[in-house]
Structure 1
């Protein structure tokens, strides 16, 4: 039996972080429940008060093959380095200078959407292809690989 995978982020701003990751991965905001034209309409009908409407958000792969990303508001901020992180495959099939140029272009795009560049690891043969370590707008580390 195949199982669905969801990756959950604890965060301060679910709407903002979901918008960042939708941009980073080419995902889209999950549609509102059937019968509603927007999330605002759905949350109003459900009786969710305005101050609670950014408690959660989710983005999905428009092709339906990638995992759903769920963002939930928590009161505490990020405390330490992530033990698990996402690798965004921004240069599949590329090597050397072409690979690093593609990673740099992806990093520039994501910085313009709130990411922070943390460090660059140069290619180191035989196995090291080089990568960039980044942080999303709330400080969660991820790699451009």
Structure 2
């Protein structure tokens, strides 16, 4: 039996983090429930008070084949290194200098959207192609691979 998977992020600002990851992955914000033209309209109808309207957000793959990312507000901040992280495949099929140049270009683009560059790992053939460790705007580590 196969199952779908959703990746959930605990965070302080779901709307901001959802927008960041939509940019990283080429996703889009999830549409409001059927019958509503906007999330604002849906939240009004559901009686969600203004101070609770950024409690959650989600982004989806426009083609519907990759997992949904869900962002939920939690009171505590990030405490330690992630035990699980995302590898963003930013240089598929590339090797050596071309791979690292593609990763550097993507790192620069993501820094302009709020990411932080943490460290670069040089290629170490035959098993390691090289990667760049990044953090999203709330400090969650991910790799450009």
TM-score under structure 2 normalisation? 0.99
Shift of 1:2: 2.8
Distance 2:84 2:141 in 1: 9
Distance 1:3 1:33 in 2: 23
Shift of 1:125: 1.2
Corresponding pairs, count? 145
Deviations 1:45-102 (A, max 9, x none): 0000000000000000001010000000000000000000000000000000000000
Per the alignment, residue 2 of structure 2 pairs with 2
Per the alignment, residue 116 of structure 1 pairs with 116
TM-score under structure 1 normalisation? 0.99
Partner of 1:102, secondary structure, is: helix
Distance 1:88 1:125 in 2: 20
Matched, 1:102 2:102: yes
Distance 2:117 2:34 in 1: 39
Deviations 1:9-40 (A, max 9, x none): 00000000000000000000000000000001
Partner of 1:70, secondary structure, is: strand
Partner of 1:16, secondary structure, is: helix
For structure 2, the residue ranges without an aligned partner over 5 or more in a row are none
Runs of 4+ in 1 over 3 A off after TM superposition: none
Counterpart mapping for 1:60-71 below 5 A: 60-71=60-71
Per the alignment, residue 133 of structure 2 pairs with 133
Per the alignment, residue 45 of structure 2 pairs with 45
Partner of 2:31, secondary structure, is: coil
Partner of 2:64, secondary structure, is: coil
Partner of 1:114, secondary structure, is: coil
Distance 1:90 1:40 in 2: 34
Q: CA RMSD, aligned part only? A: 0.5
